Structure 1
């Protein structure tokens, strides 16, 4: 198998679930192109119809917003409250290793007058699962993915709030498997299980983790979800999505701090995924497992929205993609209970032979990005 790169952006076909057409163009690029043909005024009106349908005069909250405190979820929450007159309840599933930048940005947002619930699960269990999933799957955030999907719905059920607004549908926005046209707009348990978690948390029980420890990670009973009449929508279905424009929007509203180092490890951006110190390891492992890292991810998203050219994206990727996660590594290692030598040993266990080769006493990508990508 030879890894191919999209002819319009930089995404390789080693990305899980991505699809390339016969001309070598990925489905994320097709989605970006299709946005030019969407009647966004009609989508906005559809959104307003849902808002009026679910608005609850006299109720404590009109909707739930899954909220990290980052640019995207904060931009959504701000617009819902101040542009559309809703009273959203913000729900955060705690980052594994909280970053001071993220703490600051959440506090600045809350000063504007939002109610907020932070779910912080049993840390003994969380650390155990993070280490286990790093060992087994090369991803220390599997359980966190479950938590961010379950906690907002749990809160919606308990507070009887029938409306949830998620950010974007990643499978269509960035290249993946779209279960149905309706799933571009609505998030349901099928979508969560198929693309967000891929597993039932009850399968995680072991000599440390008992079923009662998994409560924060379990999706509510579907009968309870139905009894409240919960609908979960993707905000990006109704309004054209751009991570950079979300940053510009929220930076104009609050004192939104950026990465202290001027950019995040492995990329050229300084405004994305700032709340969790373990994210540097997470994105590095993406590079290890699939051959593309954070710089390619960020570049493709900016290319799709024409904020940078493919040539500019390639320049950034060649400079930063796959950078070793030094910035917060001591904190991540402490959380995982590892020293750096053991960390590197586990990292190498997750290298795919179709992506990597060991040559000259070092690991090298078999099909790396290079300046001749435009000639392939």
Structure 2
């Protein structure tokens, strides 16, 4: 991963901590991890309620692969919990419906859309990220549901800080999800601070993490599935596409990258990943190629070629809808992009912005 990724670290030989994590996986006893998983879930099989666990579920390949394995391979009864995408698309609706038909109970939380849209606009302008509040909701709502229905186990996907290069507060956090780490690294702010003239405290209920005393009273434990089983977005897709009619990007690939199967459920994701390119100088194609290189699914040379070809691509597919959703003119949108460009990463050549250090 590039050194502009927030919180990434490199050793003296220039190897990032995400690559070190990938290398460590080759030395993990995955059979022992599987047994640890089996021993753990046996302790949590429901005795007083219908559900053994909560699975935060978007309908995408990763959370669907987790839910499928938990139900059909390990015999647990999960409740799938979805925090609604900001700008849902038909592709996501189709994939969720096809998965649910296999026999899952599903709960979707769709927060106040007026408030959500206001927050997207504010955070896009202020921070260059229209999904700050969505990240808060997707982290809080599954725990809210687990507390309300007294379901003591939640399975999230992977620990992003260790998988993709970041700051791991402790080795235990690659297994057990820690809210303080999530708040610091994914949200960066307490949702209670978002009150303003147009948003009241009660509007923010979906985004606020439950009282820790309530969480402890129920005994909710949030774990990363990827701690127990080797993680690969490509393998998750290969697994789940054979289980139901999983639709991928109809254009053959998604804006800004070469893949057609990842982050399909929200139209605003195309802009979200492009803002990563604007702010940090690398985008979705670099992200996808790095993950596949680390998993020995492509060579570094192949990854570089794909990244050079697609990483800078503007997210044109839903651009008009992005402007409408964020209530921005074309000029306001462009000005917002430009104000989030780091001058150490970008320079102007004529009337064009160019990276100071392009991929080599």
TM-score (norm 1): 0.95
- Residue in 2 aligned with 1:234? 224
- Residue in 1 aligned with 2:128? 138
Distance 1:101 1:195 in 2: 29
Local SS of the residue matching 1:37: coil
* Structure 2 residue 142 is matched with structure 1 residue 152: yes
* Structure 2 residue 294 is matched with structure 1 residue 304: yes
In structure 2, which of residues 313, 321, 327 is the aligned counterpart of residue 323 of structure 1? 313
Give the CA deviation at 1:193.
Answer: 1.3
How do residues 161-310 of structure 1 correspond to structure 2 at under 5 angstroms? 161-310=151-300
Distance 1:56 1:203 in 2: 37
- Residue in 2 aligned with 1:21? 11
Distance 1:330 1:61 in 2: 42
How do residues 13-162 of structure 1 correspond to structure 2 at under 5 angstroms? 13-57=3-47, 59-162=49-152
Distance 1:328 1:258 in 2: 16
Give the CA deviation at 1:352.
Answer: 0.3
Distance 2:119 2:318 in 1: 20
Distance 2:243 2:48 in 1: 27
Give the CA deviation at 1:198.
Answer: 1.5
Distance 1:114 1:231 in 2: 21
> Could you give the per-residue CA deviations for residues 99-130 of structure 1, whole angstroms, max 9, x where no partner exists?
11111100000000111111101011001000
Per mean C-alpha deviation after superposition, the further-off stretch among 309-318 and 327-336 is 327-336
Give the CA deviation at 1:58.
Answer: 5.6
Local SS of the residue matching 1:89: strand
Distance 1:109 1:346 in 2: 38
- The aligned length equals 360
> Could you give the per-residue CA deviations for residues 32-61 of structure 1, whole angstroms, max 9, x where no partner exists?
001000000000000001100111146210
Per mean C-alpha deviation after superposition, the further-off stretch among 50-59 and 84-93 is 50-59
> Could you give the per-residue CA deviations for residues 171-190 of structure 1, whole angstroms, max 9, x where no partner exists?
00011000101101000221
Distance 2:298 2:104 in 1: 34
Give the CA deviation at 1:345.
Answer: 1.2
Distance 2:312 2:168 in 1: 28
Distance 2:184 2:53 in 1: 25
> Could you give the per-residue CA deviations for residues 77-106 of structure 1, whole angstroms, max 9, x where no partner exists?
000000000000000000000011111100
| Structure 1 runs (4+) greater than 4 angstroms displaced | none
* Structure 2 residue 343 is matched with structure 1 residue 353: yes
RMSD over aligned Cα atoms: 0.7
Local SS of the residue matching 2:26: helix
Distance 2:100 2:91 in 1: 14
Distance 2:182 2:150 in 1: 21
- Residue in 1 aligned with 2:322? 332
Could you list the runs of 5+ residues in structure 2 that have no partner in the other structure?
A: none
Distance 1:112 1:330 in 2: 36
> Could you give the per-residue CA deviations for residues 241-272 of structure 1, whole angstroms, max 9, x where no partner exists?
00000000000101000001110000000000
Local SS of the residue matching 2:322: helix
Distance 2:104 2:198 in 1: 37
